[in-house]
Structure 1
Amino acid sequence: MGFNQGQLEASLKDAHQLIKDGKIKEASPLDTSDAFQNLCYASRTGDLKVCQESILSGVNINARDTFDNTPLMLSSLCGHYEVVQLLLESGALCERDTFQGQRCLYNALNHRIRNLLLQYDYSKSADLLQPFASHISSLLRHASPNTSDICLSAASTSWNLHKFILSARSSYFSKNLQSSPASATWRLVNVPAEAYQVVIQYLYLGAVPTDLGLTNESSVTVDEVLAGIDKASKQLGIESLWEGILAGNDKRLARQRHQDDVEQGRDQIEEWYHSNIIRHKLVVDTSRAQEVKWIRDNVIFADVLLRADEEVNEEEHKSGQNTPTVPNPLGRLNGILIDPAMNSRSPSRARKPRKSVLFPVHRAMLTRSGYFQTMFESNFQEARLTEYLHIITVDCSPEVLEIILNYLYTEKADIPIELAIDVLFAADMLFIELLKTKAATVISTIGHGSSGLAGRLHTEGEETEVEPINVYDVIRAGWLLNIRRLEEFSARFLAYRLEDYIDEPDFEELIKESASRIEKRQETDTIELLDDIRYYLSERFRLRFEDPGLDGMMNEGEIDAEAAQAISESAGSDFKDEAIEVKDLPPPIEGVKSIEDVPTVPSEFKTLDGEVVSDEFAADAINYQTLLSTIDNLLDRLKLDA
């Protein structure tokens, strides 16, 4: 059924009024902050590193600037495919029936970007907290593995729940469970079970049903359930539930309210996680880690310990540095029993011990990992309940394990580029696909660095930028884990820095590995890595050759300096006879007193083979052919045909 113009205008007016009253959020609010302006500029210029850093810092990627431009629209208009992909994966909105969504599609610079927007079908811009909220809600339904540690009962109905979720979400349970952490059952006040069902569903980040869960067989009325919800929400300290009930049946308000409730719930669990789990992590000597005894009835309701060992420092181990260690207090701390034998030796004969970190965690959150889900569902020892918590060793560093736990508990993954590959392998080992994707995204964005690409050859005298990652490790990780995104990133990374890498022995070894990945290789078989490098090498220089007319000569074979320079000069001669009317001269440059002080463009450019030319485009044309020849020479030296 269609709507006439009057209905549409009324609906639009109501929506604007709801936004003005603060009841629903604007999809693309105006943002004039410097952080957002930096994101917009990076989206226009295609700076993946700055875009990723801005997203990680919490900048709203769906905001708009003073010209009504969103970062997604700017990157789409300017043709930066990788930036568009990053923004879409990070939750950028591109709704088909909105003004901003239509602008993105209409202004897409090329079909590749347009197809990417269509591939997302304007529906993958989903709530990024949905996987987190879905897992928390699923804990009410999944009986295996059994991760509950408290049973709530009302009338003839009972629910198997989790103390840490109740403590994080309800001030009532936080206070009472803290004083009696060993409680396994809890009797609720005289309120209809249907009311408590709605309350518990809300605590577990589920949407409040419009029918309040009542059926024809229900023995209570709607008014009784509403009265029960009002009483229970006040008792448990969750007044926001009653506010959601009062929102009525408006779908927009209900959807906005649920998103706000999920975000609030995530923030509460995150605060509880940092105040309890991270605060109570235990650092011990690796040799004594298995001697730690942590009782099950502890005040943070942990039911398993995850252990991560520090990496062995070979130099310190060989030098045998003697450093005193702090004695551990004897006794009980938060349910931890410290063995008297764990006291330190005297400083005179003590070596610096290797450390391990123990994290007290909950199986309910670990089951977001397929590895732990299978472990706790099986008959392994770790699935059995004992007096003291099981210690499970995870093969990664403590820093990487903390990043994994941050993701499992908060859906946040602030991954430093230095640890990105380690997080990638750990996420693959634990079957956490979304975290694996996030790590690959960090590598393929921040890993690009901030150096100029095509202009790298004309920065003589400048200090070479230190690369943030080892590209050889990245491409081998892409091969091993079958992540095409990392393979493409590595090929592009090498192509834009080929003159720095092509003479390295490690690069030759990498080409050999790529060739050997084809079983029963024939002479006519190609080398995938070299094909990708050639493609991105062509892209690197082609962008600079399109205007002066050198693009066509790139595919014609060898080109000398005179030919390249002649074409470049002829391209510029078309503008010699055009008169330029100067109305307003720019202000004088500060600090410049004479024409000699004005910085000039270099009149000569040195190519990779040592030849000096007077035109930058001619130098790039020669450098392109030189790099291709170097690749061919490398293949001849390795006796490979590709």
Structure 2
Amino acid sequence: MAGESVLVKGELEYQLKEEHRLIKDGVLKDDSPLDKSEEFGNLCYACRVGDLKSCQEAIATGVNINARDSFDNTPLILASLCGHYEVVQLLLESGALCERDTFQGERCLYNALNNRIRNLLLQYDYSKSTDPLQPLASHITTLLTRDTPKTADIVLTASSEIWNLHKFVLSARSPYFQKKLSAAPETTIWKMATKIPPESFQIALRYLYLGTIPSDLGISSKSFVSEDEVLKGVARLSTQLEIDSLWGELAGGDRRIARQNHQEEVTRGRNQIEAWYRGNVLKHKVYVPTSKVHEIQWTQNNGIFADVLLRADEPEEEDPPPDTVEIPSVSSVGIPIGLSSVIERKVRQSVLFPVHRAMLLRSEYFQTMFTSSFIEGQVGKNLRIINMEECTPAVLEIVLDFLYTESAQIPLSLALDTLYAADMLFIEKLKTKAAIIVSTIGNGSTYLTERTHLEGDGEEVEVEPINVYDVIRASWDLKVQRLEEFSARYIAYRLEDYIDEAEFQELIKESAERIQGRQETDSIELLDDIRYYLSERFQLRFEDSGIDDMMDEIGEINEEAAEVIAGAAAAAPNDEAIDVGPATKAGDVELDPFASAQIRTLNGDIADDVFAADAINYQILLGKIDALLHRLQLDA
């Protein structure tokens, strides 16, 4: 297809020369600045080796993922060049730049290792990847024209024009309004100079609400002013409202320059809103005993312009087992000694967050609530308290962070709870972020040593970062394909640890029962995925050894071929390429404590070659799966 053709080398070189000239002249900002920091170097290394966990951790620390190293490679170029599809996907979802009309974007496509990655780069929504803050900016801009539900709390008048605005936006974006509204938070009408054209006000307000400035400055056939008069009015407003950077939005006719100017302003605006949110909403959250929540009264005219309270209760404490309660002994004078048998329970607390319905509307859940006849959507003398029963205070704060700032730091321990909360509130982007956290950081070390090759005495027990059973059930409940694939792969690479657990057997039964009207010959989806990733796990080892004939047409390990190689140990003891000597019982051989060449298989045998051990272990694990199905009386 002509639209997807890659530029030739000469065209790429010309583009690079033009970009360097514009950057040198100060006309264009460098999208990919040179970064020699250790943190960025760690990110680049993680992209080269495909370490998803380290990539996610580096991105979370705020490393510029669009910077370049000393060899002019961006993390996205390295990941696409090395063929790490999941890393490329993570970078794109995190805001990595890949524009077709730029040198780095074309180079990324040119260097893609395979068509799968190239198609991902071509098909990805570039507007989302180049401007991750656009959803937040678009929502704030729509507040200028949104009538239902009513969220505006101040009216701005100038000449015969009126605008319904929001105090918290004006206070966050304009130092002038911040000072005026702090002194008089109850103000509901604000009159401005009448000599300034309405078109100038419209430009200033679109700037404050993170909108793009129209190229025609909003002048239409019905306007009674010239372009010069509009610009003079904008100059007066930028001085009065103390928003000097407004002129940067009006400069730059080139598409890329205009885009960069707008992105810089959106980033600045987002930072201002975040600072205001943390200094007002989070700073004034209220801790109160749950039993006394109904006594809280917060008037509409408050200093942070909140119009609703969100309530989240701390989890209830569980009673300790009876056998853990110590009975105090009695001294000779009859005074009890030791711990009291009466357990002092901590008073359950609730947290109230004073928030703005204008920002909660980013969630379809709240949008439906506020536009319906529910009492929560009605405005009263005091702020309504909305009980978020499914959220703990920590999870609700993560949700609010995202709604106000488009970003959220989600610890792994709260990722699943955040996932459920985002699903309940219909916040798809936050749901995706939580799923990414689980499937990257939750994976632990990405490049694990083949676990079956480790000697028992020297093996470090891997601490499970997250309960994979909970992840699987969450993926089923919420229909998150990414987590289904992650869970199956996670278990497949650690199958020997899970295959004999009762909970794993119960999980297989649940997977089978998810198929309505299941027949005996129907497959079990979870088990099919585990088999696929189990094949992938050992395929990597077999490819290294050059035994590609073990793979069938779709790339999975041929079980019969694996069985042949496992049984060939006795037939080819002197093969130089693959020493598949006979597997020997541990008790029949005197082990050299300093020798490390012998590998123990899962059934306790010792094989002299890792590839023969892999073939044996693969067969053992498949046999365990078959035995599990037999015990469960399932056929898959």
TM-score, structure 2 as length reference: 0.87
- In the alignment, which residue of structure 2 is the partner of 1:431? 426
- In the alignment, which residue of structure 2 is the partner of 1:586? none
- In the alignment, which residue of structure 1 is the partner of 2:208? 203
CA distance in 1, matches of 2:192, 2:462: 63
CA distance in 2, matches of 1:226, 1:292: 49
Deviation at 1:233, TM superposition (A): 0.9
Closer/same/farther in 2, CA of residues 310 and 565 from structure 1, 3 Å limit: farther
Instruction: Report Cα offsets for 1:44-72 as digits up to 9, x if no partner.
Output: 11111111111111111122111122212
Contact 2:578 2:611 in 1 (8 A): no
- In the alignment, which residue of structure 2 is the partner of 1:225? 230
Contact 1:137 1:201 in 2 (8 A): yes
- In the alignment, which residue of structure 2 is the partner of 1:185? 189
CA distance in 2, matches of 1:277, 1:14: 46
Of the three residues 172, 176, 179, the one matched with 1:175 is: 179
Question: Structure 1 stretch 310-319 or stretch 106-115: which is displaced more?
Answer: 310-319
Contact 1:284 1:356 in 2 (8 A): yes
Of the three residues 378, 400, 404, the one matched with 2:395 is: 400
Deviation at 1:440, TM superposition (A): 0.9
Closer/same/farther in 2, CA of residues 565 and 286 from structure 1, 3 Å limit: farther
Instruction: Report Cα offsets for 1:195-225 as digits up to 9, x if no partner.
Output: 1111011000011122110112211122221
Q: Given the alignment of the two structures, is residue 637 of structure 1 paired with residue 627 of structure 2, yes or no?
A: no
- In the alignment, which residue of structure 2 is the partner of 1:342? none
**Aligned positions of 1:327-476 closer than 5 A:** 351-394=345-388, 395-450=390-445, 452-453=447-448, 455-460=450-455, 461-476=458-473
- In the alignment, which residue of structure 2 is the partner of 1:495? 492
CA distance in 2, matches of 1:600, 1:528: 45
Closer/same/farther in 2, CA of residues 72 and 7 from structure 1, 3 Å limit: closer
Instruction: Report Cα offsets for 1:287-343 as digits up to 9, x if no partner.
Output: 11121111110000000000000011103799999xxxxxxxxxxxxxxxxxxxxxx
CA distance in 1, matches of 2:410, 2:139: 22
- In the alignment, which residue of structure 1 is the partner of 2:520? 523
CA distance in 2, matches of 1:524, 1:291: 61
- In the alignment, which residue of structure 1 is the partner of 2:509? 512
Of the three residues 135, 140, 161, the one matched with 1:157 is: 161
Match of 1:158, SS state, is: strand
- AA aligned opposite 2:207: Y
Q: Given the alignment of the two structures, is residue 128 of structure 1 paired with residue 132 of structure 2, yes or no?
A: yes
**Aligned positions of 1:26-45 closer than 5 A:** 26-45=30-49
Contact 1:145 1:376 in 2 (8 A): yes
Instruction: Report Cα offsets for 1:388-412 as digits up to 9, x if no partner.
Output: 1000011210000000000000001
Q: Given the alignment of the two structures, is residue 299 of structure 1 paired with residue 296 of structure 2, yes or no?
A: no
**Aligned positions of 1:17-28 closer than 5 A:** 17-28=21-32
Instruction: Report Cα offsets for 1:133-186 as digits up to 9, x if no partner.
Output: 000000011111110000000000000000000000000100010111111100
**% of aligned pairs identical?**
63
CA distance in 2, matches of 1:34, 1:600: 38
- AA aligned opposite 2:160: S
CA distance in 1, matches of 2:96, 2:574: 44
Deviation at 1:192, TM superposition (A): 1.6
Structure 1 gap ranges (5+): 1-5, 322-347, 575-598
CA distance in 1, matches of 2:460, 2:191: 70
Match of 1:356, SS state, is: strand
Contact 1:561 1:613 in 2 (8 A): no
Give the aligned length: 587
CA distance in 1, matches of 2:616, 2:217: 73
- AA aligned opposite 1:194: E
Instruction: Report Cα offsets for 1:230-282 as digits up to 9, x if no partner.
Output: 1111111101102333x243333222111111000000000000000111011
CA distance in 2, matches of 1:76, 1:487: 24
- In the alignment, which residue of structure 2 is the partner of 1:146? 150
- In the alignment, which residue of structure 1 is the partner of 2:530? 533
Q: Given the alignment of the two structures, is residue 555 of structure 1 paired with residue 558 of structure 2, yes or no?
A: yes
- AA aligned opposite 1:438: K
CA distance in 2, matches of 1:466, 1:276: 40
- AA aligned opposite 1:225: V
CA distance in 1, matches of 2:72, 2:510: 49
Closer/same/farther in 2, CA of residues 571 and 367 from structure 1, 3 Å limit: farther
CA distance in 1, matches of 2:14, 2:228: 33
Closer/same/farther in 2, CA of residues 363 and 573 from structure 1, 3 Å limit: closer
CA distance in 1, matches of 2:379, 2:478: 35
- In the alignment, which residue of structure 2 is the partner of 1:234? 239
- AA aligned opposite 2:109: L
Contact 2:290 2:349 in 1 (8 A): yes
Instruction: Report Cα offsets for 1:336-376 as digits up to 9, x if no partner.
Output: xxxxxxxxxxxx99742001110000000000000000111
CA distance in 1, matches of 2:548, 2:165: 66
Deviation at 1:555, TM superposition (A): 1.4
Contact 1:568 1:618 in 2 (8 A): no
CA distance in 2, matches of 1:12, 1:611: 60
Closer/same/farther in 2, CA of residues 152 and 608 from structure 1, 3 Å limit: same
Instruction: Report Cα offsets for 1:572-608 as digits up to 9, x if no partner.
Output: 389xxxxxxxxxxxxxxxxxxxxxxxx9771211100
Contact 2:313 2:392 in 1 (8 A): yes
CA distance in 2, matches of 1:495, 1:83: 20
Deviation at 1:84, TM superposition (A): 1.4
CA distance in 2, matches of 1:565, 1:99: 57
Deviation at 1:550, TM superposition (A): 3.6
Structure 2 gap ranges (5+): 1-9, 327-341, 551-556, 580-592
CA distance in 2, matches of 1:30, 1:267: 24
CA distance in 2, matches of 1:276, 1:89: 30
**Aligned positions of 1:56-75 closer than 5 A:** 56-75=60-79
Match of 2:354, SS state, is: strand
Closer/same/farther in 2, CA of residues 105 and 279 from structure 1, 3 Å limit: same
